[in-house]
Amino acid sequence: MTDMQVTGPAEQLFNEQLRHRLDSWIVKYPVNQSRSALIPCMHLIQDANGGWLSEDLLKALAVYLDLPFISVMEVATFYTMFELSPVGKHKISVCTNISCQLNGSEAIVEHLQQRLGVKLGETTDDGKFTLREVECLGACCGAPMLLLDKQYHEFLTPEKVDELLEGIK
Amino acid sequence: MVTIEIDGISLSVDASKTIIQVADEAGVDIPRFCYHKKLSVAANCRMCLVEVAGARSALPACATLVSEGMQIHTQSTVARNAQRAVMEFLLINHPLDCPICDQGGECELQDMSMGYGAGISRFSERKRVVPDKNIGPLIQTDMTRCIHCTRCVRFGQEIAGIKELGATGRGEHMEIGTYVEHSLISELSGNIIDLCPVGALTSKPFRYKARAWEMTAHPSVAPHDAVGSNIEVHVRRNEVMRVVPRDNEALNESWISDRDRFSYLGLNHPERCLKPLIKIHGQWQETDWQTALEFAVEGLKSVKAKNGPEQIAGLISPTATTEEAYLFQKWLRGLGTDNIDHRLRQQDFVDDACDYSLQDWDLSALSRSDTIVMLGCSIRSEQPIIAHRIRQANTRGAAVFDINFVGHELFMSDVHQHVVSPVAMMQMLSGIVKSLLPLAKDIDTSDWLPLLSERTPTAAEQNVAMQLSNANESVILLGELLEQHPQGAKYRKLASLISRLTGAKLVWLPKANSVGHWQAGAIPSPKASKAIPLNALSMWQQSCRAYVLFNVEPELDCVNPVLAMSSLQHASFVVQINNFVTQQMQSYADVILPLAAFTETSGTFISINKKWQSFTGAVAAKGDSRPGWKILRVLGNISRLSDFDYVSSEDVLSTLKTELRIQPHGEQQTYLPEDLQLEQGLTYIAEVPSYRCDSLVRRSSALQNTPEMQELTTVKIHPELAQKLDLQDGQQVLLSQHEQQHALELKLDETVARDCVYLQATTSVSAQLGAAMTRVDIKPAGSLT
């Protein structure tokens, strides 16, 4: 999204609509504790920016929340759900942690790689999918699982994966 | 109070303390990396695990509060096993490159692994490698060595007031850095070198220079600001290798400024003066001390004989020791002149007879203050440690007002910043006084009433007045830009009135050892003769026949460089006693005497809290240079003055202690300004940059390479003024002041007051301009008029 302002005074950053949504999170926390709103704000900006956060946007967010830039980066680099470079339209995060691994996540990864023609961490040429490996997402009871955008999909088999991909074509 | 037991020792301790604090006080050693007494508790290194009877597992001593009946074991099997296990984890990724690591020999990790580590490693996997970051010319990084204690991160956040370093990434990918590469801008950044328990952050200028065990440590005192930070000078083979802080709770706590830490790099500058020099028939020649000293005394005596003693003037740098200042004035007064001063950048002396000094004030009072008002004060560059104290007060909730001609970032939250022109500052102060008048019950302010304007005080002025009068403890700090103002006394008297009306302490921030210089009598006061003595400005205006300069570079250190240089060129005899020798000195001086630097002499600095701090030399004087007190003593001997037979600087000190502080010559004890008017027009704001404040700092290569020293010759004005004058950013402009003109690059800067032209002082450019804080004109370069 290119219509976002990333420099200038705080009250002009991003755009009006996004500012409104950021503010709705900021007011949930006590004054001078805007830091608490950092993660929800990053989600909002990431969604508004096609799924990733640029350095400029994060700098602007630091100004908006009156936080040191490095404090914003600490959080942005800590969580795998925040993307710091452009990603595909849909993000597939496959869990390869122990429960999923014991239940066959390797086969799921293999299948996805073949089907999409990309390796883990890569984006398809048409920019539609980004494939990622993630650590435990807390759905061990449904292993193996993946996260497609914001939806969990559990008890995966290669066929179920195909179905899933067909569904969003 | 609770009763606890540590390793069988029974103690009665404050219940608000943690185990590690109690153990430290009791002298029980608990290993630690992330804990530091001056920083918040992170409890992330786990090295301080101790056994507490009844607890399920070992507990971190830094994060566990003591409680009644607690039994703590720091050496039990549980504790030792926990510590050993933590050590093994810490060493997994540590490179163990101690032989090529600068921290080797003084490394907390190395020491701990000797004490708690296993002899062999069970880890056979590949260690991770972390790329180094360039964080500026002062600090070297070797990030592979980092053990993620986050002391440096917390230091930035909690002490320096600006979080520049952080921990990015997670788990095995966690790294300490700035994310986007840049130089650290904190004036206290060097302290993270000492805080780092491993060799991840080390001193860049000191890199590969010496080993900890090769050096001897000499306690000393830093000479660059009035705090007199306690330092340790580390010496190897008669060379100063580095400077580190020495704890002093009343002054610098555990910190020193980057200026105090890295100024030593100037000691070996190629301009260091190593031999006495005299000029004979226009030719400079090296000579021996006896010849040079006799030459100096003869020259001054002939001026005295021909033109009278009042034609001799002496200026001494406030960085000189108290003993040097004392002997300097004693020698010159012996020659018959009272023209002695150390206030090199002051322009208004009409209130000289008013005593602004405070008897009972110290830095802890500043940290406790509820309201702090700074006037014309760039505190982070003038007095970095005082800035830190103000930050402490600010963190506690103190209201901080920064009223200045240029707005500097203070790294404090909610500072009331007012960037104003000199005229507006005067109005603001009188507005504050006006809002306070209804409160003046016992104080007679009738003299002032006609001077104050009719204007109703603004909300901002009322706010300052209210915050000052409501505070339990408040302080008004007068800074260097105000000191330089040719009408400085008007501001001072207004500030002093505000202080009387509100009970706020008024602190005129001293330069370096100027408290010592006042004590030693290095001020113009009629003692030797009946003539009205000349001060640091009038001795240039009157153009004396002879000058004696003690570690002063007038074109940089004095407030009116052009005036000073022209008086020097016209003088018939100039004695320069200096650490360095420059072409400029050779152009005006007749004799140059090589002076030992502060690390090479013994002496006393008197800090802002009136504490006398004596120190001894850490190294022998370089080349043929000699300690100032010896040079001045022999000058006194050769001048055949009595009472000049001191054998040590302690001798000088004990004499000067018996003499009372003298007051400079002044018209009236209670000076009252005639009006509060100021000259209209643009004012030349000549600010002394942090790393240009004295001759040694100016020659420290690492400090000169810092980013803040890169825009020294750029003129800055407010964009609105630029618009009015039709000037553009980046354009060449002509700065003119009387006959002087200078073409410089212009930069638009919103932090400069609207009626001001900002150009940093103490540079080759400012050396060609006249008085600071006076009228200046600016126009496009190349224009005809």
CB contact under 8 Å between B179 and A77, yes or no, is yes
Least CB–CB distance from A73: residue in B162, B168, B170: B168
Phi and psi torsions of B779, nearest 5°: -150, 165
Residue A107 in contact with partner chain B when CB distance is under 8 A: no
Longest dimension (CA), chain A: 52
CB contact under 8 Å between B163 and A73, yes or no, is no
Residue B167 in contact with partner chain A when CB distance is under 8 A: yes
Residues 144-163 of B with CB under 8 A from A: 157, 162-163
- At B677 the pLDDT is 87
- At B25 the pLDDT is 95
Residue B356 in contact with partner chain A when CB distance is under 8 A: no
Residue B180 in contact with partner chain A when CB distance is under 8 A: yes
Residue B409 in contact with partner chain A when CB distance is under 8 A: no
How far apart are the CA of B118 and the nearest CA of chain A, in angstroms? Answer: 31
- At B356 the pLDDT is 84
How far apart are the CA of A75 and the nearest CA of chain B, in angstroms? Answer: 7
Alpha carbon distance, N-terminus to C-terminus of chain B: 79
Least CB–CB distance from A70: residue in B165, B169, B170: B165
Helix axes A69-78, A38-48, angle to 10 degrees: 70
Q: If you measure CA to CA, which chain A residue comes closest to B182?
A: A70
Q: What is the signed CA dihedral for A69, A73, A76, A79, rounded to 10 degrees?
A: -140
Residue A69 in contact with partner chain B when CB distance is under 8 A: yes
Least CB–CB distance from A68: residue in B163, B167, B168: B163
Which chain B residues contact residue A38 at CB under 8 A? none
How far apart are the CA of B479 and the nearest CA of chain A, in angstroms? Answer: 29
CB contact under 8 Å between A70 and B168, yes or no, is yes
Q: If you measure CA to CA, which chain B residue comes closest to A70?
A: B166
> Which residues lie closer than 8 Å to B442 by C-beta, 6 or more apart?
none
Residue A78 in contact with partner chain B when CB distance is under 8 A: yes
How far apart CA B751 and CA B757 sit, in angstroms, is 11
Q: If you measure CA to CA, which chain A residue comes closest to B176?
A: A74
> Which residues lie closer than 8 Å to B573 by C-beta, 6 or more apart?
B299, B300, B302, B303, B545, B546, B547, B590
pLDDT averaged over every residue in chain A: 93
Average pLDDT, stretch A13-28? 93
Residue B279: enclosing H or E segment and its boundaries? Answer: strand B277-280
- At B447 the pLDDT is 86
- At B668 the pLDDT is 55
CB–CB of B510/B325 below 8 Å?
no
Beta bridge partners of B173: none
CB contact under 8 Å between A78 and B169, yes or no, is yes
CB contact under 8 Å between A77 and B170, yes or no, is yes
Q: If you measure CA to CA, which chain A residue comes closest to B163?
A: A68
- At B486 the pLDDT is 95
Cα A158 to Cα A94, A144, A150, A164, B175, distances in angstroms = 13, 11, 20, 10, 38
Tens of pLDDT, residues A97-140: 999 999 999 999 999 999 999 999 999 999 999 999 999 999 99
Least CB–CB distance from B164: residue in A70, A74, A78: A70
Least CB–CB distance from A78: residue in B157, B164, B170: B170
Amino acid at A25: W
Which chain B residues contact residue A77 at CB under 8 A? 168-170, 179
How far apart are the CA of A29 and the nearest CA of chain B, in angstroms? Answer: 19
Alpha carbon distance, N-terminus to C-terminus of chain A: 23
Q: Which residues of B409-421 are buried (b: 16+ CB within 10 A; e: fewer)?
A: ebbbeebebbbbb
Q: Chain A interface, mutation test: which of B163, B164, B173, B394, most A Cβ atoms within 10 Å?
A: B163
CB contact under 8 Å between A71 and B165, yes or no, is no
How far apart CA B325 and CA B319 sit, in angstroms, is 10
Separate counts of helices (H) and strands (E) for chain B:
25, 32
CB contact under 8 Å between B166 and A55, yes or no, is no
How far apart are the CA of A74 and the nearest CA of chain B, in angstroms? Answer: 4
Which chain B residues contact residue A74 at CB under 8 A? 166-168
Which chain B residues contact residue A70 at CB under 8 A? 163-166, 168, 178-179
Residue A70 in contact with partner chain B when CB distance is under 8 A: yes
Which chain B residues contact residue A79 at CB under 8 A? 170
How far apart CA B551 and CA B674 sit, in angstroms, is 37
| Entry field: residues in chain B | 785
Residue A33 in contact with partner chain B when CB distance is under 8 A: no
CB–CB of A106/A95 below 8 Å?
no
Residue B126 in contact with partner chain A when CB distance is under 8 A: no
How far apart CA B62 and CA B39 sit, in angstroms, is 11
- At B118 the pLDDT is 82
How far apart are the CA of B751 and the nearest CA of chain A, in angstroms? Answer: 15
CB contact under 8 Å between B162 and A68, yes or no, is yes
User: What region does B712 belong to: left with phi over 0, alpha with psi -120 to 50, or beta?
Assistant: alpha
Cα B96 to Cα B89, B107, B203, distances in angstroms = 13, 11, 19
Cross-sheet strand order for the sheet of B239-245: B216-221, B230-236, B239-245
| Entry field: residues in chain A | 169
DSSP-based three-state secondary structure for B716:
strand
**Strand A90-95 vs strand A146-148: parallel, antiparallel, or unpaired?**
antiparallel
Q: If you search the block for the tokens 């330069």, which residue do you land on? A: B511
User: B652: closest CA among B608, B591, B601, B694?
Assistant: B601
Cross-sheet strand order for the sheet of B546-550: B283-286, B277-280, B591-594, B573-578, B546-550, B312-316, B340-341
Residue B280: enclosing H or E segment and its boundaries? Answer: strand B277-280
ipTM for this prediction? 0.88
Residue A7 in contact with partner chain B when CB distance is under 8 A: no
Which chain A residues contact residue B170 at CB under 8 A? 77-79
How far apart are the CA of B174 and the nearest CA of chain A, in angstroms? Answer: 8
Which chain B residues contact residue A55 at CB under 8 A? 180
- At B46 the pLDDT is 94
Q: If you measure CA to CA, which chain B residue comes closest to A56?
A: B180
CB contact under 8 Å between B166 and A70, yes or no, is yes
pTM score: 0.93
Cα B206 to Cα B44, B234, B531, distances in angstroms = 30, 11, 52
Q: Please list the rounded mean pLDDT of every run of 10 residues in chain B (785 residues).
A: 94 95 95 96 95 95 96 95 92 92 94 86 90 95 96 96 95 93 94 97 96 96 96 96 96 96 97 97 96 97 96 97 97 96 95 82 91 96 96 95 96 94 95 90 84 89 95 95 95 94 93 94 89 94 97 96 96 97 96 97 95 96 96 97 94 90 66 86 94 96 94 94 94 88 93 95 92 93 64
How far apart CA B675 and CA B663 sit, in angstroms, is 25
- At B442 the pLDDT is 81
Query: What is the DSSP-derived secondary structure letter of residue B354?
Result: S
